[in-house]
Amino acid sequence: MTNTTFTADDARSLVKAIQPTDTHVAEILEAVKAAAQEGKTTLKTYARDFGSGNLYGGQPTVAQAAVIARLNELGFKTAIRSECRQFVDIWLEVSWE
């Protein structure tokens, strides 16, 4: 028999436990490095689901917020951007100007 007691507190604990791994940030930093080597000072990225329609309105998931916080700690400026045309384009902009 399985335990059928799973409370909202249990769910909140699971959400709080979600932390971006070093690979989440490393994936974006690799793209930053490539962009910087091309002389660019900003990166438009969809990595780690930053192109998700769930971001329309600017509310990142807990894991995405942690990735943004870590990038900011490293000195980057970050912003969730969107452009509305026939379809909505959403991305994370990382800059180092």
User: What pLDDT score does 62 carry?
Assistant: 83
Q: pTM (2 decimals)? A: 0.74
Average pLDDT for residues 29-53, to the nearest whole number? Answer: 91
Q: How confident is the model at residue 93 (pLDDT cuts 50, 70, 90)?
A: very high
Whether 92 contacts 80, CB under 8 Å: yes
Whether 82 contacts 56, CB under 8 Å: yes
User: What pLDDT score does 42 carry?
Assistant: 95
Q: How confident is the model at residue 17 (pLDDT cuts 50, 70, 90)?
A: low
